[in-house]
Amino acid sequence: MKILSFRDADYESFVKRLNRRALPTHDVRDLVAEIIAAVAAQGDKALVAYAKRFDNVELKEKQLFLTPEELAAVKVAPATRKAVAASLRNITAFAKRGLRKDWSMINAEGARVGERFQPFDRVGIYVPGGKAPLVSTALMTAGFARAAGVPEILAATPCGPDGTVNPELLYALKAAGVTEILKIGGAQAIAAMSLGTKSVRPVDRLFGPGNRFVVEAKRQLFGAVSIDLLPGPSEILIIADKTGNADYIAADMLAQAEHGGDSLIGFVTDSKALIGKVVKALDQQLQNLTRAKYIKEVLKQGTFILQVKSMAEAVDISNAFAAEHVSLICAEEKKWLPKIRTAGAIYLGNDSPVAVGDFLAGPSHTLPTGGSGRSFSGLRADQFQRRTSIVKMDKKAVRKSLAVVQEFARIEGLDAHGRSTAIRVE
């Protein structure tokens, strides 16, 4: 764990490095390009080969999708059904408030202009596999698609070595409205959903988080298909003054570190005393956690604690870092909240655990990471809608528009444009 004070010699250089750009390494970029090319050329055959290579599972081409019989046989505990229903209830309510509605107006020349919003016909949802079944991710992606009215929702998630997918995850996917489940993960799944194979019909847009290979596949396939954002490994930045509760702060840090891998944890405060309390709380709470092995690695390699001069400096660091999750705990919340501009999601006060946002609150937890929050927002319901502009004119509106259109046509050397307008009123 990196612990630095603004008085330390290497403090400034460390803070500068927190201004990140989400760029792939050469090895990731090259491997993903190889995978995409193989899927484009070999289709289902490549999916089977990569499933064996990366996930240690033997599949036949006819076994790439979960069958309706397999899905119908899924059984979960009543408590799981209740939790999924509660989460979906909040997700649906939140998503529907974020949907765009058709509108129109009359412009200065008398033309009626507006926009129409319709759901995409077919979307792809990626749900990571790995160390734990991300049931909440299924809900917070597919649930938004269903709320937006998308008729075809293809989910891709890697199966285990025995060819099966976690039953709770399957139940969540079904409850959220998924219509097909591809038992393939990684960059190969992104390639299949984007380009299509004999078995996989391509989608109109891709959604969902993943590891660096999944993120890079989405980056490389942008244009062949549209994407939501580039969400990678989990991260949190906690900003607190002396009012912060050390036990709660430590608990949130450990919760995010629980994701393991390349997770990134930051705690920034102007209180030296609070740092000592948080470090002590981390040590105490870690002893009772089942995933302590993964957490210890993240605390060692991917965690930093900074003592800053002021809350203003803490906010500046937050805007440069552009964290996926920001927890803001301070006496002057109303003063500092408007100044945080680049966070994927913000949690306010001592009593707002990020875990509630991860599982239940309603907003999607699919958020920008790696500094991409400067350019991307988190997943929203209106991203599942296709926006189309509408223009309707009558002769009067055409006449009022003609002089301006002809001037632009003259400037740009496009006389046919001007003629196509003039001909309607001659």
Catalytic residue among 152, 168, 216, 324: 324
Catalytic residue among 58, 325, 333, 407: 325
CA dihedral 160, 166, 171, 172 (to 10 degrees): -90
Residue that is written with structure tokens 């980056």 in the block: 219
Q: Catalytic site residue 325?
A: yes
* DSSP one-letter code for 378: P
Residue 16 in contact with residue 306, Cβ under 8 Å? no
Nearby residues of 157 by Cβ (< 8 Å), 6 or more positions away: 126, 127, 128, 129, 138, 165, 169, 173, 181, 182, 183, 185
- The DSSP annotation for 249-274 comes to HHHHHHHHHTT-TT-EEEEEES-HHH
For 275, the 3-state DSSP assignment is: helix
Residue 242 in contact with residue 279, Cβ under 8 Å? no
Q: What are the Cα distances from residue 316, in Å, to 87, 268, 319, 330? A: 34, 11, 5, 15
Q: Catalytic site residue 324?
A: yes
What's the maximum distance between 2 C-alpha atoms anywhere in the chain? 84
- Please list the active-site residues: 324-325
